[in-house]
Amino acid sequence: MTHTIEPGNPEAPSTPPDTLPNGQPAVAAGLVPAALKRRIPKYSDLAPLMQFKKPEFSRAARLRRASTIWDLRDLAKRRTPQAPFDYTDGAAEAEITLRRARQAFLDIEFRPGILRDVSKVDLGTEILGKPSRLPVGIAPTGFTRMMQSEGEYAGSRAAAEAGIPYTLSTMGTASIEDVAAAAPDGRNWFQLYLWTDRDRSLELIERAAQAGNDTLMVTVDTADAGARLRDVRNGMTIPPALTLKTILDASYRPAWWFNFLTHEPLTFASLSRYTGTVANLINSMFDPTLTFDDLDWLRETWKGKLVVKGIQTVEDARRVVDHGADGIILSNHGGRQLDRAPIPFHLLPDVTAVLDADHSDAAVILDTGIMSGADIIAALALGADFTLIGRAYLYGLMAGGQAGVARALQILETDMVRTMALLGVGRLSELTPDHVRLLTPR
């Protein structure tokens, strides 16, 4: 039988008084614990505390000290010349869209459940018919070897080791075949810009299929190139030009320039037959005449999974699914096209509601603004099946090559596991919109 001692019960142990009945201090009488008495410390007490670690300056040590994607961004900025760093970090015009996209993830409240068994947290999921160890993949990024010499090779290998998809951009600086060879066990996807010259597009589609890519991602939000003012102000060229400004910039970042100058020159490896300026290439690639008829042609041509990237309205989400898309990517191109564009995270609940009402099994994928694993969990709770990261992995790449990309993925995975556990959720399928509340009106 349990015996409860109520407050004031005479059987309860008493706290030693500060003074004795005769007024003598309790300390003097020896009633204060020895641990609370002041004394001169002995060397034997101090010695275990005086452990000075040897400074570590290796790349591995720097990456271990990075605890967040923002930490990797700081490392990347110190190690990368301004022009390629700003190409990655910047967005269009006043960069309002990018700031709003990141703020959208901050303006939420998680609603955790308690007393759940979360001793094991499983982040595994299925996307487009195949398993993925994490609910995140690497988005297509152009000119990637300009950011760091390992470029697409680092991204594809790190993704393969993490058990997630990697997407090669048409504007990539490694070929479809070379990426497949570099990560033969990875799940490789290819991103396509539909050209006016359909023969050139068809050639890339065939190469992607022959190299084992199971998913084609077509980007549709580039009727014209966005005004990326950081690039204009930096005078950014591909490859970077050795002007007086870049030479001065290089003096602070010798490792980047050494790697850049001692590796194969940058080329658009998927476009080996193209000879012309970057401006002419972009003008020929961003076709302003694209319509849903072109999507129908692509659906008939490509036999694998087809996803459409750049969806920014509910109606367009529904239409591309009606035209045969296996998945849609809610994306505003990382804020790099239309400034003040819709925020994918805000659009997500409405899109998933409509597709659910239509009984659609199309995958809903989200990118733009993701800088933590908590961001990813919030997106999944509001209905996303999967997420993509662009800048987040590029910061890791610039900070430390393939090891930096792997560190970025480790950071995100750790974030996701911790967030899930604190929400009281052990599996992704247990996440619901009830776990997230938007704090600001959309």
pLDDT bucket at 185, cuts 50 / 70 / 90: very high
Worst-scoring range by mean pLDDT, 11-15, 119-123, 152-156? Answer: 11-15
Residue that wins the pLDDT comparison between 244 and 429: 429
Residue that wins the pLDDT comparison between 130 and 47: 130
- pLDDT beyond 60 at 11: no
Which pLDDT belongs to residue 214? 96
The CA distance from 355 to 361, in Å, is 8
- Decide: 175 and 168 in contact? Cβ < 8 Å: no
- pLDDT beyond 50 at 294: yes
The CA distance from 168 to 364, in Å, is 20
Which pLDDT belongs to residue 290? 87
Regarding pTM above 0.85, the answer is yes
Query: Which candidate in 3, 263, 323, 333 is catalytic?
Result: 333
- pLDDT beyond 70 at 275: no
- Overall average pLDDT of the 320-329 stretch: 97
- pLDDT beyond 80 at 19: no
User: What six digits make up the tokens of 184?
Assistant: 């033969």
The CA distance from 170 to 301, in Å, is 17
pLDDT bucket at 277, cuts 50 / 70 / 90: very low
Task: Report the b/e string of 9-18 with b at 16+ CB within 10 A.
Answer: eeeeeeeeee
- Residue 366: burial class (beta carbons within 10 Å; 0-12, 13-18, 19+): buried
Q: Does the CA dihedral 170-173-176-180 come out positive or negative?
A: negative
pLDDT tens readout for residues 258-271: 888 888 877 776 66
pLDDT tens readout for residues 354-380: 999 999 999 999 999 999 999 999 999
Which pLDDT belongs to residue 279? 46
pLDDT bucket at 402, cuts 50 / 70 / 90: very high
- pLDDT beyond 60 at 26: no
pLDDT bucket at 158, cuts 50 / 70 / 90: very high
Average pLDDT, the chain: 87
333 is catalytic: yes
Which pLDDT belongs to residue 9? 55
Residue that wins the pLDDT comparison between 256 and 341: 341
- Overall average pLDDT of the 286-302 stretch: 90
**Can you tell me which residue has the tokens 């970025």?**
408
